[in-house]
Structure 1
């Protein structure tokens, strides 16, 4: 463990630290204010979660009070009714998944876009099982009532209007969920996975005629039909507004373009951007945007990348590591290329703080949001401690700027360089493991600190695990994974 005492310099370093005056509010008072803000966000997040499940309950309740919800008369009707309920819940949760992926600013502010996407992914398998159960139970129920075999009933259903579209929608959902499995996704190029994932929108649209054609369940003029049309309009409207319309408005308003691509390490470049009133984008240090560079080789690929510096009125910067074919192309972009932006997103900011002290841990390209967060946070001397982690000198991206920021704000900064320990599962080097270094020894006020961790997933998970074992409350841990 090396205590870095003085600032380092790199020729051509991008931006001068943008420092704020030290805050006058006492640490304890600031912590209480942040905790109140955190409680308000938690309450709002809980309310959004409750509304999501209430929407599914309302869908079932509306069906139960309609004439289509008949008295159970036998095994066939039990299977049919169970299939209808499974379909209603599965379809409702599918629309919830679309809303979570719509990048709605309200959801990002109270829940965090990364958390929203995590919930979106977790719903994939349950939704698929419900939709498969919907098809299977209805087929078995109709088969029992008509005394036909399940195969004959399937053939009969397939010949009815809109049922081929229903089967197509189910097939698209299967393709989307299977492509999202970790074992499958690792074998697919990002471009192929992305195209397959876009099929979820097609699946929702393809399934709509089937839903509206089931007259006994969603009869014309019924409250149930009105409710489902409203859900579809809400979910698809949010997708159109926040994934397409708003990014177009931001692009036209700010006219962002590339001014320079600066190599800072092997496989790592800083992309310097210019535009109009970029300080009005509302970026907080630690946030990221979804970037699209309009060149012949990159226009079709959107990249979620953190701001590596807080934007000024006419300039901004992101720093990108070559992690695949898509990100490698960014290093070859020429100045003048136009840029689209979705965002900013993320709760990896000082707004999420609740404790009086700040602990920042970054590894590799995970330095980018940590450096911007340090730049954008009002700090007193001694309030923040920073730990930078790298395998070797080639992984010390933006360390010189981070050291300068730490010195200017009176923050303590440590650097840990070397390969991860092999003697045991650890996020530290072998030497530091032997010396008995721990998070508590690096951050003496760890339990009174908000801990921000950013780096490769396996590494950052190990840091977070040690923090939890040390007793750091869950609401004080903020993790941004770079994969």
Structure 2
């Protein structure tokens, strides 16, 4: 089914550079301030007389601060998300999380060793005494277990064995872990209550993290769903194992969404509690939305079974792969498989001139090419140049091109197919390894880093 879209040119929030700078400086300031609190509490002086205990205090403080930053990174704060994009925030979230849990483990070991030295007891006895006799320690131990489970399931090997829905559900335990750690910090953490400044800082940090989660992960989605009341209008097959879902609702011209963004979707019926991210596959026109899903497992199989009138719940919109990051008027778009969905929407909305847009569409077989009729119509109407990349890639070679191009370096092929590629904004969406190959090729071909925009299909 062809979808000729009348593009809605509503004003959207701009991406302001100072938002990025302010968010980054705030994060670094919090880390430095925590170290300053430790120093003001005789942390440096105590290293000489009680090294283990003093170093454990610092590890615990930094762990707590990074845990709160980790929550803020994925709180879906709109101006932070628009400034950095979900890819980068998710990467920093993982780094902050692994660093936090490592410091937490160091805190536990060092504090136990320090107390054992002071009490002249063995380490195991001291650990048992700390957990069972100190206020809030049992709760903290439970919180540590929850955070440890989140860290273990975040390891790449574990993520590969988990469905997205299961992984997402397990990560909700991070909120439980942070909450269970708070009583211990307030009751026995001297560095948290040592001064009015320290107390004000930690209460403000916890309130900011909790408030951001409640407002942007809970309150905003509830409000948007109540306002727009989306329901399934129709489900249309697009190719082998691929369907498009059209949704209608109220006041969609007021929904703050742009082509290239994605939502986390839930549909009434079996499995409605498990959200799944799907990008818009057509530019929003103020009347309805379209998403396209490929059957890649249980979660992505659900859209094919939907019936007209099924209520839809959504979180978002998310993603920075939009017009707002555009630096010039020439664009090169690279899509592999289902990664065509946000780029198909962008081709509707980006303000390019005839001949200034080129699309590379990667698929294993001709029948796997999605939206071919729509793309050909765009080529005729807006002058988009299209290159279909069919067939298997070369085994053992990190290339985004089919095997037939193997003798020639990727960047040389790119310069030949897109003269003046360095003057283009490059948009990429596809599997993680393929996306990385495109980005590397574009950079070697002379495209500045600030003009390469990618949305990786990985979690």
Tell whether 2:191 aligns with 1:217.
Answer: yes
Aligned position for 1:5: none
Return the match for 1:441 from 412, 416, 425: 416
Q: Deviations over 1:290-341 (max 9, x none)?
A: 111122x131111111101122232111001111111112211122111112
Supply the distance in 1 between the matched residues of 2:47 and 2:387 (Cα, whole angstroms): 72
Return the match for 1:58 from 28, 33, 39: 33
Return the match for 1:334 from 307, 313, 316: 307
* Contact 1:290 1:303 survives alignment (8 Å): yes
Supply the distance in 1 between the matched residues of 2:48 and 2:399 (Cα, whole angstroms): 59
Aligned position for 2:445: 470
Cα deviation, residue 442, structure 1: 1.4
Return the match for 2:322 from 346, 349, 352: 349
Change in Cα spacing, 1:123 to 1:215, as seen in structure 2 (3 Å) is closer
Aligned position for 2:232: 258
Q: Give matches, 1:165-244, under 5 Å.
A: 165-214=139-188, 216-219=190-193, 222-244=196-218
* Contact 1:20 1:378 survives alignment (8 Å): no
Supply the distance in 1 between the matched residues of 2:303 and 2:354 (Cα, whole angstroms): 38
Cα deviation, residue 78, structure 1: 1.8
Cα deviation, residue 172, structure 1: 1.3
Tell whether 2:275 aligns with 1:287.
Answer: no
Structure 2 unaligned residues grouped into runs of 5+ = none
Cα deviation, residue 113, structure 1: 2.1
Return the match for 1:432 from 390, 402, 405: 405
Supply the distance in 2 between the matched residues of 1:219 and 1:316 (Cα, whole angstroms): 51
Cα deviation, residue 402, structure 1: 2.0
Q: Deviations over 1:254-290 (max 9, x none)?
A: 0100111111111111001010121221221111111
220-229 vs 234-243, greater mean Cα deviation: 220-229
Supply the distance in 2 between the matched residues of 1:222 and 1:70 (Cα, whole angstroms): 21
Structure 1 unaligned residues grouped into runs of 5+ = 1-11, 22-36
Aligned position for 2:365: 392
SS in 1 for 2:362: strand
Q: Deviations over 1:153-203 (max 9, x none)?
A: 112111222111111111111111111101112122334322321110000
Tell whether 2:76 aligns with 1:114.
Answer: no
Tell whether 2:151 aligns with 1:163.
Answer: no
Aligned position for 2:52: 79
Supply the distance in 1 between the matched residues of 2:243 and 2:47 (Cα, whole angstroms): 68
State the aligned residue count.
451
Supply the distance in 2 between the matched residues of 1:99 and 1:424 (Cα, whole angstroms): 38
Supply the distance in 2 between the matched residues of 1:217 and 1:460 (Cα, whole angstroms): 45
SS in 1 for 2:161: coil
Cα deviation, residue 385, structure 1: 1.3
Cα deviation, residue 435, structure 1: 7.2
Aligned position for 2:249: 275
* Contact 1:350 1:377 survives alignment (8 Å): yes
Aligned position for 2:5: 17
Aligned position for 2:71: 98
- Give the TM-score, by structure 2 length: 0.93
